[in-house]
């Protein structure tokens, strides 16, 4: 559940920063991809 919260937070940050701060968007996007990968891995282990 905590992972999902982080994922949602990263997703929100990504969309909020997209137009205003392109450099920061790149960092956020990378973090989002890392979180997504971690989430998928966690799901695989649990199932």
pLDDT value of position 38: 85
pTM exceeding 0.85? no
CB 14 within 8 A of CB 28: yes
45 has a pLDDT exceeding 60: yes
pLDDT value of position 47: 72
Phi, psi of 18 (to 5 degrees): -55, -50
Per-residue tokens: 29: 């996007």
Please write the tens of the pLDDT for every residue from 5-31: 666 666 565 555 455 566 566 667 788
């Amino acid at each position: 559940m905590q992972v999902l919260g982080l994922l949602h937070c990263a997703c929100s940050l990504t969309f909020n920063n997209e137009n205003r701060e392109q450099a920061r968007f790149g960092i956020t996007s990378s973090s989002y991809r890392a979180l997504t990968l971690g989430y998928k891995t966690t799901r695989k282990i649990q199932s």
